[in-house]
Structure 1
Amino acid sequence: MNEKFDAIIIGAGQAGPSLAGRLTGAGMKVALAERHLFGGTCVNTGCMPTKALVASAKVAHQARRAADYGVMLGSAVTVDMRAVKARKDVVATTARGNVEKWLGGMKGCALYRGHARFVSPRELSIGDATIEAERIFLNVGGRAFVPNLPGIDKVPYLTNTSILELDTLPRHLVIVGGSYIGLEFAQMYRRFGSEVTVIEKGPRLIQREDEDISAAIQTILESEGIAVRTGADCIRLAPHGQDVAVGVDCTAGAPEIVGSHVLMAVGRRPNTDDLDLDKAGVARDERGYITVDDELRTNVPGIWALGDCNGRGAFTHTSYNDFEIVAANLLDGGSRRVSDRIPCYGLFIDPPLGRAGLTEREARTGGRRVRIGMRPMTRVGRAVEKGETQGFMKVVVDAESDRILGAAILGVEGDEAIHAILDVMAAKAPYTTLQQTVHIHPTVSELIPTMLGELRQ
């Protein structure tokens, strides 16, 4: 006989555990199933371990620049990759342990360790057990997408998950993919001491951004010795002795790059192909993402999809917001919607990029009149004092409503300063509210009002 629950949650990523907490707090009997590691991508193979590596790489970079600040370190800076990995592992395992401990002590929550598959729209099998509930929440996450490139089956390659297990330094890391994940690994490994080449099929890096942002990021990376090859129309791989040859067919430069290691960083795919969703009748799109409405409900009543598997956001913060939307609507009588949130994210190279809302290109689509404000980081006192003046800040304002449509801050502390703009956007206040606000000196944020006072068409 099946064990019955009020709710079943599949996946212990960012949305699942918090949702379990709210549901059990409301008196529900909840089952949560996790087939691998508690904490999901962010804790285990995403934000926490990678940002721990970014932090180690930044320290190495600052140590090499010590003389610029009048600090003499003496001998050359070296990096112990085993120690770097060990520190990263502690960060991730501690966070994972905390999630598991929290769930294990949650009254009213039964943990199932295994792979859940649908038997029917209300039933799931997990190993030898079959459980059922009237409410089922899918929080199954995603994984690296590996394209079927010519020769990929003949060479070893890394993904964002397997590269985290390296405790030695690649002699030459070739990264296929010039977007967010690839660029973070590019800079960190260059700072650790590897030769690094980034290969991007498109005409420029991170094509989601405006061209001026893409160009500035490429300049930052190249200034640290990272080679960038764009316009790689025919990427192919082949063994080259103990190394790997990556063909690029770019319009300029060598036709192939030989590296000791290859990282595939060309995107993500949802973990929805082995859930037997067809037995529940749950619809997916052509890329495998579970189709949801504005309140994260699937086409099957009583089944929701949260986090990376629904295609409505690919970040930890959007996954957590999915939980907030579902919990508010289900338990608090709310009417929150995915479409209410403002897109925002960061690129955590150094200096980082903080992004909110529309790009200039997106804002101008359809003939909308906009005003643009820009400020180079060379004119930001905090950046000058820290000796980190690369990048700029940029804001896009609707010329008719005076509302801020979007912003980007590429520069020191840009990932934090962007929230001053994001909060004003969420409040639907005119840009003048922020322009007339007094900020603390000396900070990066204090130049945002100044930038807003210099808007141009």
Structure 2
Amino acid sequence: MKKYDAIIIGSGQAANPLAKKLARAGRRTLLLENHAIGGTCINTGCTPTKTMIAVGRMRYIVSRAPEFGIPVQAGDVDLTAVIKRKNEVVSSFRDGLEKSLEKTDNLDVVREQGVFTGHKIVNNAFTAEHIFINTGAAPAIPPIPGIDQVRYLTSAGMLELQEVPQHLAILGTGYIAMELGQLFRRLGSRVTMIERGHSILNKEDDDVAAAVHKILEEDGIRILTDTTVERTAPLQGGGVRLTLSGGGELTATHWLIATGRAPATAALQLPQTGITPDGRGFIPVNEYLETTVPGIYALGDVKKGPAFTHISYNDYLVASENILNNAHISIKNRPVPYCMFTDPELGRIGITEKEARAKGLAVKVATLPLGKVARAIETGETRGLMKAVVDAESGQILGASVLSVSGGEIMAVLQMAMMGKITYKQLRNTIFAHPTFAESLNNLFMTLDND
């Protein structure tokens, strides 16, 4: 039995910086990963999708060139070249990470699945005082009758297609579905999205969700709400037939399942070390990311909570400071910014208007359509809106939704204001460079002047 100071299972966005930091602090560390180093973000998530979304954005810009007096047309997409470029970017990120891990003293990287075989014993070979689980999550496949008889794609499979789908059906309308649906529509696919609820993006305010819905429909995407897939069957010659609720039917050449993700815990054999996952497979943790077994921690998407790369990275910061410096940092009440990388982007921070109303908070709500933003008009990017929820008494900003070109960057300005306790009146009167999208925050908060 080989004893380490720390064992890390999985190499997601918390694991890799944590492994290096612990090792550099003198802790003998073992990192176990049976797939590609870098986890979902680098290999099948953030890096490849945003690289491909940039291609969709480029084609969209070219398609609009005649509006700006440039007489060119967007031709067919060479998807093989798109995938080649994406793979090169992914490889450069992953190779750089692998080399940095290899050069770290005190760190062993073993390419195998980590499995608990006893109390704080992994693979019958390793043990440590501190063990960190960062195995992430994988697409969840719903139990639809006939689904095991048809070909379907997950988000990872979409990134390896060598030809643009003629008709792409998408089950689900979450962030992954939104991004990939718009991407492949821009690459030339006909796209139909299927949502069982009354509207898309049910975690967002109704006006924000409606604005996204309108944008996607303007792009030529068909969205079916209040619709479920009751069964499915293969089509002769390829493709899929979906039987919909209400007796409808939909045929498509390709089918993307984007109904959520499930934690990758099944292979870990958690009960062997005394951890009982919840009914969905997530690992319960306290506010310091520690499981029910002292010394074993769960980081990133494998635990409940916001499933974002930046949250996993923040988990690393929390865990490393608490382990190395006894800092007692809690994950309670930490800010959770996120961005949906449709075009325009949806940047989000803090609470929504409907959350504030549900809590009975006294708030004021500022809303500004992008069609009233000078820079948006000048650049021809008027789709979207800016929205902020403000405490009626203190003037503190409680949350914001920014559906705009560079929406995530504008949202970050508001996040910094929230962190610094800057009131909406201060932002309303702040000098921003003209003409910028950030300058429109003046106008956004001017809408509250008569409240």
With the shorter chain as reference, the TM-score category is over 0.9
1:279 match: 272
Contact 1:63–1:77 (8 Å) recurs in 2: no
2:198 match: 203
The 3 A distance-change label for structure 1 pair 112 and 63 is same
Answer yes or no: is 1:212 the counterpart of 2:207. yes
Answer yes or no: is 1:343 the counterpart of 2:339. no
Contact 1:307–1:318 (8 Å) recurs in 2: yes
1:152 match: 147
1:24-83 deviation per Cα after TM superposition (whole angstroms, max 9, x unaligned): 12111101111101011000000000001100011111111111111122x552210000
Question: Aligned match of 1:164 in 134, 143, 159?
Answer: 159
Answer yes or no: is 1:62 the counterpart of 2:58. no
1:100-119 deviation per Cα after TM superposition (whole angstroms, max 9, x unaligned): 11111111101110011012
Contact 2:59–2:74 (8 Å) recurs in 1: no
1:194-252 deviation per Cα after TM superposition (whole angstroms, max 9, x unaligned): 110001111111111111111111110111111100101444212232221122225xx
CA RMSD after TM alignment? 1.4
Q: How does 1:229-248 map to 2 (within 5 A)?
A: 229-241=224-236, 242-248=238-244
Contact 1:282–1:300 (8 Å) recurs in 2: yes
Give, in angstroms, the shift of residue 164 of structure 1: 1.2
Contact 1:283–1:298 (8 Å) recurs in 2: no
- SS of the residue corresponding to residue 320 of structure 2 reads helix
2:313 match: 320
2:137 match: 142
Contact 1:272–1:288 (8 Å) recurs in 2: yes
Between 109-118 and 418-427, the greater mean CA deviation after superposition: 418-427
Distance 1:448 1:335 in 2: 36
Distance 1:140 1:194 in 2: 33
Contact 2:151–2:239 (8 Å) recurs in 1: no
Contact 1:296–1:326 (8 Å) recurs in 2: yes
Contact 2:288–2:319 (8 Å) recurs in 1: yes
The residue identity in structure 2 corresponding to 1:246 is L
Question: Aligned match of 1:132 in 122, 127, 136?
Answer: 127
The residue identity in structure 1 corresponding to 2:360 is G
Distance 2:429 2:316 in 1: 35
2:289 match: 296
Contact 1:121–1:300 (8 Å) recurs in 2: no
The 3 A distance-change label for structure 1 pair 102 and 401 is same
Distance 2:208 2:127 in 1: 49
The residue identity in structure 1 corresponding to 2:361 is R
The residue identity in structure 2 corresponding to 1:277 is L
- SS of the residue corresponding to residue 355 of structure 1 reads strand
Contact 1:199–1:248 (8 Å) recurs in 2: no
Distance 2:108 2:144 in 1: 43
The 3 A distance-change label for structure 1 pair 287 and 412 is same
The residue identity in structure 1 corresponding to 2:102 is G
Identity %: 41
Distance 1:24 1:404 in 2: 40
TM-score, normalisation: structure 1: 0.96
The residue identity in structure 2 corresponding to 1:414 is G
1:178-207 deviation per Cα after TM superposition (whole angstroms, max 9, x unaligned): 111001111010000011000111111111
Contact 1:383–1:444 (8 Å) recurs in 2: yes
Q: How does 1:392-403 map to 2 (within 5 A)?
A: 392-403=385-396
The residue identity in structure 2 corresponding to 1:51 is K
TM-score, normalisation: structure 2: 0.97
Contact 2:350–2:399 (8 Å) recurs in 1: yes
Between 227-236 and 293-302, the greater mean CA deviation after superposition: 227-236
Question: Aligned match of 1:440 in 424, 430, 433?
Answer: 433
- SS of the residue corresponding to residue 167 of structure 1 reads coil
- SS of the residue corresponding to residue 268 of structure 2 reads coil
1:37 match: 36
Answer yes or no: is 1:249 the counterpart of 2:242. no
Distance 1:76 1:398 in 2: 47
- SS of the residue corresponding to residue 442 of structure 1 reads coil
Q: How many residues align?
A: 449
2:357 match: 364
Give, in angstroms, the shift of residue 418 of structure 1: 0.4
1:409-457 deviation per Cα after TM superposition (whole angstroms, max 9, x unaligned): 0011111110010111122333333233221111111111321232276
- SS of the residue corresponding to residue 127 of structure 2 reads strand
The residue identity in structure 1 corresponding to 2:244 is V
Contact 1:13–1:40 (8 Å) recurs in 2: yes
- SS of the residue corresponding to residue 428 of structure 1 reads coil
Distance 1:391 1:236 in 2: 36
The residue identity in structure 1 corresponding to 2:17 is S
Q: How does 1:250-269 map to 2 (within 5 A)?
A: 255-269=248-262
Distance 1:449 1:66 in 2: 31
Q: How does 1:13-32 map to 2 (within 5 A)?
A: 13-32=12-31
Question: Aligned match of 1:223 in 218, 223, 243?
Answer: 218
Answer yes or no: is 1:375 the counterpart of 2:368. yes
Distance 2:261 2:46 in 1: 15
Contact 1:184–1:349 (8 Å) recurs in 2: yes
Answer yes or no: is 1:408 the counterpart of 2:407. no
Question: Aligned match of 1:174 in 169, 179, 194?
Answer: 169
The gaps in structure 1 that reach 5 residues or longer are none
Between 92-101 and 314-323, the greater mean CA deviation after superposition: 92-101
Give, in angstroms, the shift of residue 157 of structure 1: 0.2
- SS of the residue corresponding to residue 339 of structure 2 reads strand
Distance 1:211 1:340 in 2: 25
Distance 1:20 1:68 in 2: 51
- SS of the residue corresponding to residue 191 of structure 1 reads helix
Contact 2:62–2:74 (8 Å) recurs in 1: no
Contact 1:369–1:398 (8 Å) recurs in 2: yes
